[in-house]
Structure 1
């Protein structure tokens, strides 16, 4: 079951077939909403006392029978609507009164939960409301109903404390602490029957609502009511196989007719426990969701959670910054509006500038409403985008459950700036959207306790220290987590996501399901370490060749010819340092290697400084050259870099040498090694004294002018 907000874009008067303009249709819907609002408000105000709430909380009537689940029937069983009558001279049908009574019953039943919390707080009122002792907390927990969060306790405590500061005594109950709840101008059509409203679907994107609306603000008889047919544009989330239910009708300030349309579709059943692969998400400020994958394994009687270490991040930095700026603008507009209104009220109507201040306050009020609407739209779009991303990630990774932090245990703390950014998040909407989309995909969603998820290390459960991110040291915030016990160093939200998925998978047998809403919650904290398992790397080219050689039959002798090549690889011509030399100029008795040219043979140095060449070289080359010649272990002049000398490293690592050897084999470049006496500038590092900007390897190389072979 879900609710989609739709818009009625066309209205027709059924009796004559005349099309009703949008302004007149909006006015008639407003008449019906105003009649329902006035009747509901009067009914709630007449029963806003402790005795009436006690009767409603008991759930039985005067004869001892249980009250029905439908609100309007329960109120009529108690004979409460008889005390409230419509305005004299106003005619409304019994179906309209049903909708108003249903709205009043829902409002009063919602107040029962707040009343139970206030009663428990007053019964266990501490000596110091700002700081309770352990005994006072135990007494309060015993008096509270099950499932009450710490945030609700703090909010009600602050409310009672403000009342005590103003009146000097404790309130006797909820009805004294706060006034009757305000009701909105909306019509609950679900409490009415076919004599007042009908709904049918026309096609995949359109539905038709048939409702009886008043033609004037105070209808005096049934002739002032007429049937209207309204077309509803369905959003893309309402698919063709969904079942539509009777909506709630309400006019908006933007001048449109909105309908909150409930719709349902059969969802696959999901299991409560027995999950092996789960996805845990942690809430953030800029990164709205940070998740990680966890896999539950068993070794004997010991259970542990494995993870691949890959973070899943939904980065909403841009949208979050836009929302924060728009909230600041909203507060600024509200302050200017109140200031102009105060100036107008202080000057009075006879003053010449009174009208100017009043007109400016109206303009600021309209701009404030536009900014608020923009914020609501951005929040809704951001919430559903994050929910769709999270469910898609779970489906792609094969996870059967999604674990989230329990939102009722979270409360923004710290500085004002952090509180504003944190309290403005759309976490509740994201959670409901994830539950809705995950139910369609057959994925379970459960909440876990949020306390301590960022305080302990997911690998060893040791204390974590928080620091600025190493790649963003100039930014404010403690984004990075480090464990002094096991040396873990990673993103703070990523570490918390590991703790969340571990708590969910290890404590999934303690999952409880709410019968009314169907939400799954884990209130038992089971902490365990998360073991990092590296993902298998992709097969390299060398490994693929090896596997192909092992699986393929032996290749016959002859030139190499593969499927990707149209001809065999020609033999490399002989020459020096990769320079092309015509075949006719090569020595007739010279044998070259198929893999490497003969220039790979390194010259040797003697104590006398005379270099002797191995046999097989060109006889036209001089037999001896004075001074060392660049080769294996000998530096070429002009190739020593200042930064390499300052580094103090005289020998390259074995890994670097092997990498350069393979590069030389591919390109034909002569490979040089650095000795302990003469350090060598890395061929693949900075060149020409540039110590900050690395350069890539050269693909062509020309020998020095003094080098001869």
Structure 2
């Protein structure tokens, strides 16, 4: 842990659920089921008004105003979304004879303006790409200025949308399209961000590890007056791991409903130690690996120059990567089935269409469940990875962790399936989890350029050879090499140490180094990186006699499974003794007794 004497504020999020709800005026208890119902009524009003407002504003003039950032009088638009909507006259509409407080309208407009501001960047990119798109060839011309540059991955998706639009309009579309021409208004999720409101709608108090949220909720699905909105005190327990954290401020939560009921997505600000990048002498480079989530290596700045032992740390995902690949394949299969049934239902008779729509609903439900499961596994994988890399950096005394800039990183050249699988890995979540975990011990995560990190030698900056295949790298001139991901980690750590004086900081983003400088990294025989911890296995009692196979029983030969990797394209061979189209493994009867086969505790 780096103790520089400096501190910084860090925001983080967590979730909790209420265990008690009472009426704020009378103190009468309210059942949690009734609480979920009343919250659902408010979310229905918010989501309906937000969807209507976004649909009404879905035209190019809206994005022109947001792109310029100024109103009709030339004044700069405010940062808060509800203030921007009030100045521009963007007011949501509600059903007739329904009363909604002005503070709830703040929540609606803040969420709608936030969504439209996010899409303003996409509108600018689509307009720039459509001007360079050729409908005859389906390609885009090279950008002329730096302002026209768009990441290649995003550009390919836009090209598909432009080609589909050109096919629908038979090539008669204008040369410059907008996001409103190629995309429909986005669907918004039902939630209420209470941070956009003031104390008249909600306020929060924390005492004795209990969070008490006082919020105004409707008492009917269609309230007709102020009397049908009443204040409710909701009590929720703060997670135990936050009890001893130096939290300086608690923020209003976001209300959502899931299958278990009301969920509070909370945020807080705490004080963490801050590292001095200029004083950093040891850095850890994290390279995103195709076979696992990532690998790390150490580079140190010594009086003799940059040194490294080229011994890295490879993250063990405990089989979660293979499970994610299986769930991804299953989700894609369900998507293809639903798309095919949708095509068939469009031209089917009414009675057949009803049957197909029922099947499509079932497939959509399964696909949603697969997506939820993938999200949970991705989160578990990201935070486990963040903790492992943070411990590795803390043990080495590093104060900087360099990760590849994800905006310039693209997986290509390994086939359609493997490229898609690597592109959908939890890298963004892993960076966020690593940033959060490392900040707790005073380690800063910076983004460095990714190009050439796995192909160039850290010593001479020349192309590396691949004598052992894709996963090996070797420099004939410098006589250094090893695992391809470990060599890349050395390069990334070197770029962080050389560019620590040219760090670019932006609000809401990690510090970023945009320049690539070179200095030779000498191989040091001294141990620079810590030895990763390995799980200890139980000792087995060897005093028991060896098992004697029974007479007349054919023992099935055990064949070890191949090493799991997303790049494996050869199917494993069928084990010996197995015939037919399915593997049927027989379980031979053990010859030893239960007592004789017990392991020592």
Match of 1:21 among 21, 31, 34: 31
Aligned length in residues: 512
Q: Which moved more, 1:47-56 or 1:341-350?
A: 341-350
Q: Counterpart of 2:386? A: 387
After superposition, the Cα gap between the structure-2 partners of 1:141 and 1:224, relative to the gap in structure 1 and judged at 3 Å, is same
Distance 1:68 1:519 in 2: 24
Distance 1:338 1:509 in 2: 52
For the aligned residue pairs, the C-alpha RMSD in angstroms reads 2.9
State the 1:339 CA deviation: 6.0
Structure 1, residues 590-616: CA drift from partner, whole Å, max 9, x if none?
A: xxxxxxxxxxxxxxxxxxxxxxxxxxx
Distance 1:305 1:127 in 2: 51
The answer to whether the aligner puts 1:98 opposite 2:90 as a matched pair is no
Q: TM-score normalised to the size of structure 1?
A: 0.67
Equivalence map 1:597-676=2 (5 Å): none
After superposition, the Cα gap between the structure-2 partners of 1:5 and 1:468, relative to the gap in structure 1 and judged at 3 Å, is farther
Equivalence map 1:248-259=2 (5 Å): 248-252=254-258, 254-259=259-264
2:296–2:312 Cα contact (<8 Å) kept = yes
Q: Counterpart of 1:48? A: 58
Higher relative contact order (CA 8 A, sep 6+): 2
Distance 2:31 2:287 in 1: 49
Distance 2:136 2:337 in 1: 39
State the 1:484 CA deviation: 4.1
After superposition, the Cα gap between the structure-2 partners of 1:294 and 1:129, relative to the gap in structure 1 and judged at 3 Å, is farther
State the 1:259 CA deviation: 2.1
Q: Counterpart of 1:89? A: 97
Equivalence map 1:276-425=2 (5 Å): 276-298=281-303, 304-316=305-317, 318-336=319-337, 350=351, 361-413=360-412, 414-425=414-425
1:287–1:317 Cα contact (<8 Å) kept = no
Query: Between Structure 1 and Structure 2, whose CA radius of gyration is higher?
Result: 1
State the 1:265 CA deviation: 0.9
Match of 2:475 among 478, 483, 499: 483
Could you say what secondary structure the match of 2:227 adopts? helix
After superposition, the Cα gap between the structure-2 partners of 1:76 and 1:267, relative to the gap in structure 1 and judged at 3 Å, is same
Structure 1, residues 341-380: CA drift from partner, whole Å, max 9, x if none?
A: 77777766657x966x666555544443333222111110
Match of 1:495 among 454, 475, 487: 487
2:132–2:140 Cα contact (<8 Å) kept = no
1:250–1:258 Cα contact (<8 Å) kept = yes
Q: Counterpart of 1:571? A: none
Structure 1, residues 120-174: CA drift from partner, whole Å, max 9, x if none?
A: 33445579977777xx43x142445xxx544334443443344334331334323
1:151–1:408 Cα contact (<8 Å) kept = no
2:14–2:265 Cα contact (<8 Å) kept = yes
1:388–1:437 Cα contact (<8 Å) kept = yes
State the 1:76 CA deviation: 0.8
After superposition, the Cα gap between the structure-2 partners of 1:309 and 1:140, relative to the gap in structure 1 and judged at 3 Å, is same
State the 1:279 CA deviation: 0.7
Match of 2:500 among 495, 508, 520: 508
2:272–2:440 Cα contact (<8 Å) kept = yes
Structure 1, residues 545-601: CA drift from partner, whole Å, max 9, x if none?
A: xxxxxxxxxxxxxxxxxxxxxxxxxxxxxxxxxxxxxxxxxxxxxxxxxxxxxxxxx
Q: Counterpart of 2:196? A: 191
1:286–1:315 Cα contact (<8 Å) kept = no
The answer to whether the aligner puts 1:535 opposite 2:509 as a matched pair is no
Distance 1:8 1:369 in 2: 26
Structure 1, residues 271-330: CA drift from partner, whole Å, max 9, x if none?
A: 34342111111011333221111111355xxxx320123211211151101111122223
Distance 2:216 2:154 in 1: 42
Distance 1:431 1:527 in 2: 25
Q: TM-score normalised to the size of structure 2?
A: 0.78
Gapped regions of structure 1 (runs ≥ 5): 470-477, 538-709
Q: Counterpart of 1:458? A: 458
Q: Counterpart of 1:579? A: none
Gapped regions of structure 2 (runs ≥ 5): 1-10, 529-601
Structure 1, residues 364-398: CA drift from partner, whole Å, max 9, x if none?
A: 44443333222111110110111111112212211
Distance 2:126 2:361 in 1: 39
2:205–2:212 Cα contact (<8 Å) kept = yes
Q: Counterpart of 1:225? A: 229
Distance 2:448 2:271 in 1: 27
The answer to whether the aligner puts 1:244 opposite 2:243 as a matched pair is no
State the 1:336 CA deviation: 4.7
Structure 1, residues 505-563: CA drift from partner, whole Å, max 9, x if none?
A: 1222221111x2152111111133321111269xxxxxxxxxxxxxxxxxxxxxxxxxx
2:139–2:159 Cα contact (<8 Å) kept = no
After superposition, the Cα gap between the structure-2 partners of 1:359 and 1:77, relative to the gap in structure 1 and judged at 3 Å, is closer
Structure 1, residues 193-217: CA drift from partner, whole Å, max 9, x if none?
A: 112112111333x312111111222
Distance 2:127 2:80 in 1: 26
1:67–1:74 Cα contact (<8 Å) kept = yes
Match of 2:127 among 119, 122, 144: 119
Structure 1, residues 12-68: CA drift from partner, whole Å, max 9, x if none?
A: 333444443333322221211111112122222222222232233333334443332
Could you say what secondary structure the match of 2:272 adopts? coil
State the 1:229 CA deviation: 2.2
Q: Counterpart of 1:159? A: 161
1:273–1:508 Cα contact (<8 Å) kept = yes
